Structure 1
Amino acid sequence: MKKAFITGITGQDGAYLAKLLLDKGYEVHGGVRRISQPETVRLEKLGVAKDVHLHEFDLTEMNNIFRTIRDYPVDEFYNLAAQSFVGTSWELPIYTADADGMAVVRILDTLRTLKPDTRFYQASTSEMFGLVQEVPQRETTRLYPRSPYGVAKVYGHYITMNYRESFGMHSSSGILFNHESPLRGKEFVTRKITLALAKLAKGGSDPVVLGNLDAKRDWGFAGDYVEGMWRMLQQDVADDYVLATGVTTTIRDFIRFAAEALGMEPVFSGEGIHETAIDAKTGKRIVEISEKFFRPAEVELLIGDASKAEQNLGWKATVSVQGLAQMMAKADYDELA
């Protein structure tokens, strides 16, 4: 039986990955932050909360990392934990650098010391491309991060590559473009949209308040993307891979897809901070714009080229952005009382 350790196991990706690995016969361990009661709702929704072994794990504490890896040696280590909200990284830039950047080398160096044959996966991100230098973005595209989050992730990405090249470790990075699901945190824009629209469809009156509706993202389904993570660590030779759908969609269109899935007819009017949207069927205002949700430095366009992953890993996204928006909107609607 293979053993795996997942940091961030209680998050969206961690929960889907835990289920995938359990289904493949792994013994699954996971790292959780020290809180009075671990938040296991995502694991519970997927029916695997009782099947994983949880351990206190702090990305910023070297001794804790060392002891955990010493006491629970594994075949595969997936580092998914991070300060993962881009907007918050401007408020917590030093913590973000520590948790998303320095934590990676803490884990890698501990593995190098204690169990260098462990296969390591680092959760890199399309936010590293930031002010994009090439369209679409691929593994060789120059990085130009536009947030403290993106900058910290660049360090984690390059140190993963460095330990692979310097010490022969099987360390790979997945440069994942936006991947969402019904398990997505409510602070992320896609889930914020689908939850607010579901409440409106249930009779609520509060519109979803957003920032730049023109921002374009490459959105896929998280359940697809964890399969790609696993496939990277099954390769004989470690490498870095972009995982993406190859389709870019504005936030405005994501709203439209989610609203239509709930039987609404969204109609947009105005421009910039004065743009709004109403449901033509009910006359309800469903979208408003607020300056506070604009980023200090915006990432305008992200679209990935996953041809390397398709060729080498046999991986391809299976859920369209329309299907994703529909899945999330209906899940939120069904969960509301």
Structure 2
Amino acid sequence: MPRAFVTGITGQDGYYLSKLLLSKGYEVFGLVRGQNNPKIDFLREELPEVKILTGDLMDTSSLIRALAAAQPDEFYNLGAISFVAYSWENASLTTDVTAKGVLNALEATRIHAGDDISKVRFYQASSSEMFGKVQEVPQSESTLLWPRSPYGVAKVFGHYMTINYRESYGMHASSGVLFNHESPMRGPEFVTRKISMAVAKIALGQQKTVSLGNLDAKRDWGFAGDYVDAMWRMLQQPTGDDYVISTGETHEVREYLDVAFNHVGISDWEKHVEQNPAFFRPAEVDLLVGDATKARETLGWSPTVSFPELVAMMVDADLARLQA
């Protein structure tokens, strides 16, 4: 039975990845920072097979202890402060967790593996936010990185540190440069879930308007369940590498609104949407669209859920939650 160790297991990707690994017969160990995490009860209820270990990405010794307990074949580092807007409010903490946390995870893995450096295969969750002020369209593995947020800068550090450990120590370490990926498990602070929840409430007469930021921002949105499959495929390759994971399609926030409201029979959605300058980023990322050719050709990966299907899935899930 293969064994996997997952940080950020209480997040969206941790949930879908754990489900995938369990379905493949893995023994899954999840790292949680303290026993007071409000999502632990949900994790235990939804995925009781997951074995919970305590530790902190900012504490290398705790990671080494957790790895000793889990004895994993694969380490998926999904843990981060992942809300871009918050990274401006607390750039220091974002850097400690999202940047230095990767270094701590890599170093703990190296120490745990000892002389057998290939003992543990390592996955780092990189991000399309690293491209920031995009230098070419679409963005691929060779595109120059130009992050435009403290979060993006932190992710760049983790990305290059993963490459450095691969090249310096021969570690089987891969980075997945994942473009925006959503699901009904997405946190309510993210724009896609903020919209799906608002649309559901408006459709049920529980809310009249939703306040948003830049409606012209363009993103490459896919389904999180598809993207965790790509993570797993990376660690099944003979050597570590970097892969862009994306749909190759770009959609404005306006398009997301259009599909979401039309799904519940509301065509004149403009009267339900307000733009608030408070939700605009200090430095906007205007256009993200990925080129996942390498992932398709090397990993045999491709997305299975279309943009309209993804939006409908999220709206329907929030409608069901509210009606329940």
Which TM-score applies when normalising by structure 1?
0.92
Partner of 2:290: 304
State the shift of 1:114 in Å. 1.5
- Which residue identity is paired with 2:299? L
Judge conservation of contact 1:15–1:42 (CA < 8 Å) in 2: no
Judge conservation of contact 1:29–1:53 (CA < 8 Å) in 2: yes
Partner of 1:155: 157
State the shift of 1:42 in Å. 5.7
Are 1:128 and 2:130 matched, yes or no? yes
State the shift of 1:43 in Å. 3.9
Structure 2 distance, partners of 1:320, 1:57, is: 37
**Tell me, what secondary structure is at the counterpart of 1:175?**
strand
Structure 2 distance, partners of 1:262, 1:3, is: 43
Identity %, equivalent residues: 56
Structure 1 distance, partners of 2:65, 2:219, is: 39
State the shift of 1:335 in Å. 1.1
State the shift of 1:71 in Å. 2.6
User: Which among 23, 46, 57 is matched to residue 59 of structure 1?
Assistant: 57
* More deviation, 180-189/101-110: 101-110
Q: How does 1:59-208 map to 2 (within 5 A)?
A: 59-115=57-113, 116=117, 117-208=119-210
Are 1:19 and 2:19 matched, yes or no? yes
* More deviation, 308-317/59-68: 59-68
**Tell me, what secondary structure is at the counterpart of 1:50?**
coil
* More deviation, 98-107/302-311: 98-107
- Which residue identity is paired with 2:54? E
Partner of 1:262: 264
Partner of 2:34: 34
State the shift of 1:40 in Å. 3.8
Structure 2 distance, partners of 1:255, 1:35, is: 38
State the shift of 1:208 in Å. 1.1
- Unmatched segments (≥5 aa) in structure 1: 268-276, 279-285
Are 1:210 and 2:206 matched, yes or no? no
Judge conservation of contact 1:12–1:42 (CA < 8 Å) in 2: no
Structure 2 distance, partners of 1:181, 1:7, is: 19
- Which residue identity is paired with 1:21? L
- Which residue identity is paired with 1:7? T
After superposition, the C-alpha distances for 1:288-325 in whole angstroms (9 at most, x for unaligned) are 01000000000000000001000000000111111111
Structure 2 distance, partners of 1:35, 1:74, is: 22
**Tell me, what secondary structure is at the counterpart of 2:205?**
coil
Which TM-score applies when normalising by structure 2?
0.96
Q: CA distance change for structure 1 residues 38 and 291 in 2, over 3 Å: closer, same or farther?
A: closer
State the shift of 1:90 in Å. 0.4
Structure 2 distance, partners of 1:165, 1:217, is: 32
State the shift of 1:72 in Å. 2.1
**Tell me, what secondary structure is at the counterpart of 1:51?**
coil
- Which residue identity is paired with 2:233? R
Partner of 2:312: 326
Judge conservation of contact 2:133–2:285 (CA < 8 Å) in 1: yes
User: Which among 279, 291, 302 is matched to residue 293 of structure 1?
Assistant: 279
After superposition, the C-alpha distances for 1:259-289 in whole angstroms (9 at most, x for unaligned) are 111111135xxxxxxxxx12xxxxxxx1101
Structure 2 distance, partners of 1:22, 1:205, is: 39
Structure 2 distance, partners of 1:39, 1:266, is: 37
Which has the larger share of helix? 2
**Tell me, what secondary structure is at the counterpart of 1:153?**
helix
Structure 2 distance, partners of 1:163, 1:21, is: 25
**Tell me, what secondary structure is at the counterpart of 2:48?**
helix
After superposition, the C-alpha distances for 1:91-128 in whole angstroms (9 at most, x for unaligned) are 11011111011111111111111113200000000000
Judge conservation of contact 1:173–1:240 (CA < 8 Å) in 2: yes
Q: How many residues align?
A: 319
- Which residue identity is paired with 1:219? W
State the shift of 1:12 in Å. 0.4
Partner of 1:282: none
State the shift of 1:38 in Å. 4.5
- Which residue identity is paired with 1:230? W
State the shift of 1:37 in Å. 4.7
Structure 2 distance, partners of 1:226, 1:72, is: 21
Structure 1 distance, partners of 2:169, 2:86, is: 34
Pairwise CA RMSD of aligned residues? 1.2
Structure 1 distance, partners of 2:37, 2:131, is: 36
Are 1:223 and 2:209 matched, yes or no? no
State the shift of 1:205 in Å. 3.1
